[in-house]
Amino acid sequence: MHLIIAEKHDAAKRIAQILAGGKPRSQRVAGVEAFQFDDKVVLGLSGHIVGMDYPPAYNNWQKVDCKELIRAEIVVRPIQEKIISALKSLGREADRVTIATDYDREGELIGVEALKIVQEAKPKLKADRVRYSAIVKDEIIKAFQDSGAVDYDLAASGEARQIIDLVWGAALTRYISLTSGRLGKEFLSVGRVQSPTLALIVDREKEIQSFVPQSYWEIFADLEKELRVQHAKGRIWDKEEVDGIVSRLGPVGVIRSIECKKRIDRPPTPFDTTGFISAASGIGLSAANAMRIAEWLYTNGFISYPRTDNTVYPPSIDLAGLTRLFLKGAFAEEAARLLQGKMQPTRGKRSTTDHPPIYPTAALERGSLKEDQWKVYELVVRRFFATLAEACVWDATSLKVDIGPEPFRASGARLVEAGWRYFYPYSKAEEHILPALENGERLRLLGHSVEAKETQPPARYGQGKLIKLMDDLGLGTKSTRHDIISKLYARAYVQGNPMRPTNTAYAVVDTLERYAPTITKPEMTQTLENDMTLISEQKIKEDQVIEKSRVMLTSVFDELTSNQGGIGESLKDGLRTDKIVGTCEKCHSDLIIRRGHRGSRFIGCSGYPECRFTLPLPRFGTVVVTDKSCEKHAMSHIRIINKGKRPWDLGCPHCNFLEWQAKKAQEKAESPGAEAKPRNKKRPATRSGKKTKPEAKAEGDGLVKLPGIGPKTLEKLVAAGITSSQELLVARTKALSSKTGLPERP
């Protein structure tokens, strides 16, 4: 039996259909679906089926010295038990195995992991490797006809990355979290690529905050024939100079020169991963979402492999034949027009041999895909067309005008040939048509204007621009950069797009830059990235690179441990500001996010115990204090981040609580005595994250307005027979505590 191993289930199914020339037979092996035809069985993995980790003895953060993790034993653990069982079962029956995972560093490692398991079941089993860039008939058949050897060096470079990232991430994350006192679900993550990337965002924000705008002025004049011109100096920094220019303007503008020439806009280069993510960001897709959709399109045979550094089409791709696929369907008009031209492809600066640039591999109709899937597919199709199209040609006009002794200018552009812009509407360029004029022509001055402006700070990084910068600096790889950005959002280090760092990000980066700057600089991770590439090229051994990284990390820890007191103080001071939501309307102290005795969260006054004002918060998710503020309560809006879910914008916590109270009161008025179930989307943000029982609210109306009585506490008090402020006042503290589980003193 010939066992074929693909990276994912959908890829396995499609490869089996292509090789079988029809529908293969589905069978279950150890609970995992496999596809059989002739003497072949195709099994899909689920990415990595084993993972790197420390032995259980290292799991206790408080008991294990963080520095021990640098040289601690690392073990391989199964993470997909059923698939491993299926591999062993099929391996015992196989007489040949073919690795058909994605062809890159990660895919090679995934394939080797699976191969080792199969060969444990049947040693010396013959193995080969197929490489392809699109899951389409011609390419898959050709790949299986030209199979080669498994690239163990490429897999070793991927394994080195796993080990290095585990060691750096675990050791530094534990150290910073323990030193700051931020444990549990709110731990502070630090990583070899993540931290220098975060430093880029924080440093840019510092540039913006420290930016001092400079005033300048621009002078415009309106002439006959609807001609608007600007003073030739452009920005003028001195107001007295502006006033002098205006005072010298005459009543007539004289055309001194008209220069017309052709301007050529070259077509864009083919998509590599970085270019694709940047373009997808421009149409409103996050880096992670764009890659997720692109990978789905690839697995289903609609586009080529989306993880590539290549910007040059290889000669093996029949570009004209590929374009002819689109002569029917949504892009029929564009394809027909393109085929009439020269179809000379553009070439980018990077040419690699692993995968071609991203290009479409099948013609689809809009209705066959979901909206976001179509947006990504259409982007890839149109970029492909644009790279084969001719240049865009403009008639550009440059005009010089004298108004009195003062020189003015204007420029215009008229589109002559749309070229590639016809196919690729994402890059906009507007025409500006100047009136027909002649040298020496005199035009009456109709008026002038002086516009006062200020220089602007540098822009924040959008996800597309940050991906490009990471690529330029050698931070991460084409396969990991979008995941790094997702982690920054998940850990509440950044918010919004363009990205704005939270106070937590400031605290971590400022502390690291002061006491262990190596972690925040790109040079360290650049060095390791280059070394991992050298592993795949057989120029250095995996063990040497891992040892080099451990020496580097040991040096970092020497810096950290010698400054532990300062690091702890710096982190705690910085992190405290990220918990301040606003100012208490009762005593004007800070309102801070706090945790209760049993893990519940709430907003409490820092003036406690004199002031007992509180507001409830959901129990689960990471709480992010945003920069948006409530005009009524002067409190920052809250966002809740739960892994794998869309962020929940709770808004102003005070407004949220008042809205919930009003809703409950309305329900009581409309249905006296009824236990109406509130809808999920209107769920109040109670400390437990659960809804408060309507009957508890109804019976405890006398307690609702008391400071410090949240919905959950209210429910417990009502259950204990306390339904009014008077009953609470005369209740015995100890007895009440034993009934409700509430502390005697908050």
Sheet holding 127-129, edge to edge: 25-29, 32-37, 40-44, 2-6, 96-100, 127-129
Distances 409 to 22, 259, 400, 454, 455 between C-alpha atoms, Å: 68, 11, 5, 22, 22
Distances 519 to 64, 193, 503, 505, 545 between C-alpha atoms, Å: 22, 9, 19, 14, 18
Cα dihedral 522, 528, 534, 538, rounded to 10, equals -170
- The distance from CA 478 to its chain's CA centroid, rounded to whole angstroms, is 13
The set of residues, in sequence order, having a beta carbon less than 8 Å from that of 376 and lying 6+ positions away, is 280, 285, 290, 293, 294, 297
Residue with tokens 């502070």: 188
The set of residues, in sequence order, having a beta carbon less than 8 Å from that of 78 and lying 6+ positions away, is 49, 50, 84
CB neighbours of residue 365 within 10 Å = 11
The rounded distance, in Å, linking the Cα atoms of 326 and 381 is: 9
* Distance between first and last Cα of the chain: 69
Question: Can you give the length of the chain in residues?
Answer: 746
Taking CA 211 as the corner, what is the angle to CA 208 and CA 216, rounded to the nearest 5 degrees? 125
The amino acid that residue 393 corresponds to is V
Host H or E run for residue 323: helix 319-324
DSSP, collapsed to helix, strand or coil, labels residue 340 as coil
CB neighbours of residue 379 within 10 Å = 25
Contact 698, 670 (CB under 8 A): no
Contact 489, 477 (CB under 8 A): no
Q: Which of 408, 416, 411 is nearest to 398 (CA)?
A: 411
Q: Report the greatest alpha carbon distance in the chain.
A: 100
DSSP, collapsed to helix, strand or coil, labels residue 592 as strand
Please confirm whether the linkage preceding 609 is cis (ω < 30° from 0).
yes
Radius of gyration for the chain, computed over Cα atoms and rounded to the nearest angstrom: 32
Q: What HEC string does 401-469 produce?
A: EEECCEEEEEEEEEEEECHHHHCCCCCCCCCECCCCCCCCCEEEEEEEEEEEEECCCCCCCCHHHHHHH
**Is 426 labeled as catalytic in the residue annotation?**
no
Among 305, 313, 424, 489, the one annotated catalytic? 305
Q: What HEC string does 29-68 produce?
A: ECCEEEEEECCEEEEECECCCEEEECCHHHCCCCCCCHHH
Contact 249, 428 (CB under 8 A): no
Which of the residues are catalytic? 305
